[in-house]
Chain A
Amino acid sequence: MCGISGLLKLDGGRADPNLLGRMIATLQHRGPDASGVHASGIVGLAHARLSIIDLHSGAQPMSSADGRLWITFNGEIFNYIELREELISKGHSFVTRSDTEVILNAYREYGEDCVNHFNGQWAFAIWDTTEQTLFLSRDRSGVRPLFYTQTRESFVFASEIKALFACPEVPREIDPYGMDQIFTFWAPIPPRTTFKNIFQLPPAHSLTVKGSDVRVHQYWSISYKRDGNSCNGNEPRIAEELLHLLQDATRIRLRSDVPVGAYLSGGIDSTLTTALVRRLAGDRLRSFSIAFEDAEFDESSYQQEASSFLGTQHSKVSCSHVDIAQVFPQVIRHTEQPILRTAPVPMFLLSQLVHESGFKVVLTGEGADEVLGGYDIFKEAKIRRFWASNLESKWRPLLLKRLYPYLQDFQRQSAANLKHFFRVTPEDLASPLFSHLPRWELTARLKLLFSADFRAEIGKYDALGEVEDALPPEFSSWSHFAQAEHLEAKYFLPGYLLSSQGDRMAMAHSVEGRYPFLDYRVVEFAAKLPVHLKMKVLNEKYLLKLACQGLIPGSILARRKQPYRAPDGRCFFGASAPSYVPELLSPCAIKKNGIFDAQAVSGLVNKFRAGKASSVKDDMALVGVLSTQLLATQCTDQ
């Protein structure tokens, strides 16, 4: 894993190696082992290296043997060994053992279509000196980030926005539409970001710059349409097939010239991932986890049980309210976008532990909930639809009590109240966004905090309308469950889970996350599964649980799902609260940035100070305001 940056002069000038050096220096946390710059004529590429594969000859930027192609690459092509053999059989030769050179030769052989041959997680740029073409690409799920902007003089790209800001001509201005999206979906919708005129390449997309022409195109998408032949057979056989795929996805993700560890959260997904790693890696596997001082969030007993069962050498980092408040500014410096929950913070502390333990690579269970039907939001939508088919039913809405068992205030509600909260109107039922409307509408209420001027800038912009307009043509032919999966995989997974909570937290401490559940073969297999194998009645990840039998402790298999969460707003108040909190939330600081209404924020802050804030909405509001204030301040101070 690494950091990349580069630029293409559109005005015919020469790429400045000093500027490229300054850009890549901002990404040193992504690649502390080496850095390199290649500047020639109108193009410049830069690379900060975290050495994982081919430690001795994999330096970048790298050129093809004939010097025609140059590449800067962040990520891994896990099937590079097979691809290498395939390319050799087609007459290509190699001088290194790296996956980077495999990309170069694959590009030579297959052109822009090379990405369809890759199984991995990548963001890279290739400069073709003959064609004078710059080709950028990002992996299918959006594991690796890739941002770009265009100024009057240059096309500029990088793994993180801070490298773009190293260019003096790139403005640093918060984008009201991006903010509107974050305060609705938790993340901006690609290509938009938090900043005006800074774009992100969407997952599964490539971009080509030739002359002044910039072309973006999608090279892969998931279809949830069952083809009639897929996944036929009995449940144990299909579960075995899934396990076989996961085992192979894990096998190729263990390709590394440095030791590989695993995250153990105490849930099914990471325990199975660790079990599969253990099968392949032998008995010296290291595992890592987060423990919370606050018992409401702590899962360490399950983590310990999993570790003992699998025989891993386990380390954990303990996270307190004080820890969260203290490192929050560093976390926001890395997320580069506002966050509405503090859940990324412990992930930041966890990657620090991994780094200090001498590890650069961890396998984790991310993606299982998205591709195999694990989320409560899928269950919630199923219950709401089931109830809506007989609105007079007295017992159907009682199923709502099955939702969110870990939210105490939610569970204390009467069934009658829950009926109201989840009431389904005919308009809701007709909406293609049905599954996500309660979540997105609740989050969107936070926009009441925006100042009048900021709201005026947003104007009549309709974020939900933008999502609806971008639905794929075949969306309406998918099952309701698949529709919900699509929305989750497109709007939550890459923009928040794999970014704010994933890549950005791991790479803050030079740690690479690898995700077997996001192997595209697993994703495509899961997309074809009948819905009842993902959620049988209200039993989530049914098929995965079947596949896990005997591989993970029975108690973990049987436990009620507890999503990963962390303590939120309350961390920032009390005697030990860091001084930046009252400073950034003061009316003066709020007015200075102009994004939020100072009086509204004061009311929110007073509620927390009085210990009267207890709702999910208050927590999201506080964390959202504070992270935005940090970001706006860091952005101008950089």
Chain B
Amino acid sequence: MQTTDIEREIRSFLVNNYLFGRSEALRDDESLLDNVIDSTGVLELVVFLQESFAIVVEDDEVVPDNLESVKAVVEYVEKKLRSKA
């Protein structure tokens, strides 16, 4: 899977799941944990990542370093996919 595909899929999920389909509300530099995902919604993102990319998200990986932006999530998924390969 190309990076662009991963990013597109993640963006689509974030927009549809947290922003009621309003793509303009997800700017490139948007802080996901500040402005997009509420404190009770993180687990939805975890389930999405596991289901969509067939990776296992460990509890200690559900941290801001991996979730704070679209870029961080994409890099995290790429890293998991690389370690699986």
- Taking beta carbons and an 8 Å cutoff, which residues of A are in contact with B? 407, 409-410, 412-414, 416-421, 423, 442, 445, 448-449, 597, 599-601, 603-604, 607, 612, 614-618, 621
User: Do B38 and A615 touch (CB < 8 A)?
Assistant: yes
Q: Is B40 an interface residue (CB 8 A)?
A: yes
User: Do B19 and A414 touch (CB < 8 A)?
Assistant: no
B49 to nearest A CB, angstroms? 14
Instruction: Give Cα A397–Cα B43 distance, bound, in whole angstroms.
Output: 20
Choose one: A407, A445, A597, A615; the contact of B44 (CB below 8 Å). Answer: A615
- Beyond the given pairs A409-B39, A420-B64, A448-B22, 18 more chain A to chain B contacts, judged by CB atoms under 8 angstroms and listed by A's residue number, are A412-B43, A413-B62, A414-B62, A416-B64, A416-B65, A417-B64, A417-B67, A420-B33, A421-B33, A423-B33, A448-B25, A600-B21, A603-B20, A603-B21, A614-B40, A614-B41, A617-B41, A621-B20
> Which residues does chain A contribute within 8 Å of B41, judged by CB atoms?
409, 614-618
User: Do B40 and A616 touch (CB < 8 A)?
Assistant: yes
Instruction: Give Cα A535–Cα B64 distance, bound, in whole angstroms.
Output: 31
Size category of the binding interface on chain B: 20 to 34
Listed A/B pairs (11) with beta-carbon separation below 8 Å: A409-B39, A410-B40, A413-B39, A414-B59, A417-B63, A420-B64, A603-B21, A607-B17, A614-B41, A616-B38, A617-B40
Instruction: Give Cα A600–Cα B19 distance, bound, in whole angstroms.
Output: 9
User: Do B39 and A614 touch (CB < 8 A)?
Assistant: no
Number of A-B residue pairs having CB atoms within 8 Å of each other in the complex:
81
User: Do B39 and A418 touch (CB < 8 A)?
Assistant: yes
Known: A420-B33, A420-B68. A413 touches B42 (CB 8 A): yes
Q: Is B16 an interface residue (CB 8 A)?
A: yes
User: Do A612 and B44 touch (CB < 8 A)?
Assistant: yes
Across the interface, name the chain A residue whose C-beta is closest to B68. A420
Across the interface, name the chain B residue whose C-beta is closest to A446. B20
Instruction: Give Cα A421–Cα B22 distance, bound, in whole angstroms.
Output: 21
> Which residues does chain B contribute within 8 Å of A615, judged by CB atoms?
38, 40-41, 44
Q: Is B60 an interface residue (CB 8 A)?
A: yes
Across the interface, name the chain B residue whose C-beta is closest to A607. B17
* Prevailing SS type, chain A contact patch: helix
Instruction: Give Cα A420–Cα B25 distance, bound, in whole angstroms.
Output: 19
**Binary flags per residue of B29-48, CB closer than 8 Å to A gives 1, else 0:** 00101110011111110000
User: Do B38 and A617 touch (CB < 8 A)?
Assistant: yes
B33 to nearest A CB, angstroms? 4
Instruction: Give Cα A412–Cα B20 distance, bound, in whole angstroms.
Output: 24
Known: A417-B62, A615-B44. A410 touches B39 (CB 8 A): yes
> Which residues does chain B contribute within 8 Å of A449, judged by CB atoms?
20
> Which residues does chain A contribute within 8 Å of B44, judged by CB atoms?
612, 614-615
User: Do B42 and A604 touch (CB < 8 A)?
Assistant: no
> Which residues does chain A contribute within 8 Å of B62, judged by CB atoms?
413-414, 417
- Taking beta carbons and an 8 Å cutoff, which residues of B are in contact with A? 16-22, 25, 31, 33-35, 38-44, 59-60, 62-65, 67-68
> Which residues does chain B contribute within 8 Å of A616, judged by CB atoms?
38, 40-41
> Which residues does chain A contribute within 8 Å of B16, judged by CB atoms?
603
Instruction: Give Cα A254–Cα B64 distance, bound, in whole angstroms.
Output: 55
A392 to nearest B CB, angstroms? 15
Across the interface, name the chain A residue whose C-beta is closest to B15. A603
User: Do B34 and A416 touch (CB < 8 A)?
Assistant: no
User: Do A604 and B20 touch (CB < 8 A)?
Assistant: yes
A436 to nearest B CB, angstroms? 15
> Which residues does chain B contribute within 8 Å of A448, judged by CB atoms?
19-20, 22, 25
> Which residues does chain B contribute within 8 Å of A617, judged by CB atoms?
18, 38, 40-41
Instruction: Give Cα A419–Cα B63 distance, bound, in whole angstroms.
Output: 10
Instruction: Give Cα A413–Cα B16 distance, bound, in whole angstroms.
Output: 22
Instruction: Give Cα A407–Cα B40 distance, bound, in whole angstroms.
Output: 8
Q: Interface centre among A413, A418, A615, A621, by most B CB within 10 Å?
A: A615
User: Do B17 and A421 touch (CB < 8 A)?
Assistant: no
B72 to nearest A CB, angstroms? 11
Instruction: Give Cα A412–Cα B44 distance, bound, in whole angstroms.
Output: 12
> Which residues does chain B contribute within 8 Å of A421, judged by CB atoms?
33-34, 38-39
> Which residues does chain A contribute within 8 Å of B18, judged by CB atoms?
617
User: Do A600 and B22 touch (CB < 8 A)?
Assistant: yes
Instruction: Give Cα A212–Cα B5 distance, bound, in whole angstroms.
Output: 66
User: Do B34 and A423 touch (CB < 8 A)?
Assistant: yes
User: Do B20 and A417 touch (CB < 8 A)?
Assistant: no
B22 to nearest A CB, angstroms? 5
Across the interface, name the chain A residue whose C-beta is closest to B32. A420
Instruction: Give Cα A419–Cα B39 distance, bound, in whole angstroms.
Output: 10
Instruction: Give Cα A445–Cα B35 distance, bound, in whole angstroms.
Output: 8
A-B pairs, 7 with minimum CB distance: A615-B41, A600-B20, A420-B33, A409-B40, A416-B63, A421-B39, A615-B40
Known: A420-B34, A607-B17. A614 touches B43 (CB 8 A): yes
Choose one: A417, A607, A621; the contact of B42 (CB below 8 Å). Answer: A417
Across the interface, name the chain B residue whose C-beta is closest to A621. B20
A546 to nearest B CB, angstroms? 32
> Which residues does chain A contribute within 8 Å of B21, judged by CB atoms?
597, 599-600, 603
A306 to nearest B CB, angstroms? 30
Instruction: Give Cα A410–Cα B43 distance, bound, in whole angstroms.
Output: 9
B71 to nearest A CB, angstroms? 15
> Which residues does chain A contribute within 8 Å of B31, judged by CB atoms?
420
A397 to nearest B CB, angstroms? 11
Instruction: Give Cα A599–Cα B21 distance, bound, in whole angstroms.
Output: 8
> Which residues does chain B contribute within 8 Å of A612, judged by CB atoms?
17, 44
Instruction: Give Cα A621–Cα B21 distance, bound, in whole angstroms.
Output: 13
User: Do A414 and B20 touch (CB < 8 A)?
Assistant: no
> Which residues does chain A contribute within 8 Å of B43, judged by CB atoms?
409, 412, 614
Across the interface, name the chain A residue whose C-beta is closest to B16. A603
A226 to nearest B CB, angstroms? 34
A30 to nearest B CB, angstroms? 37
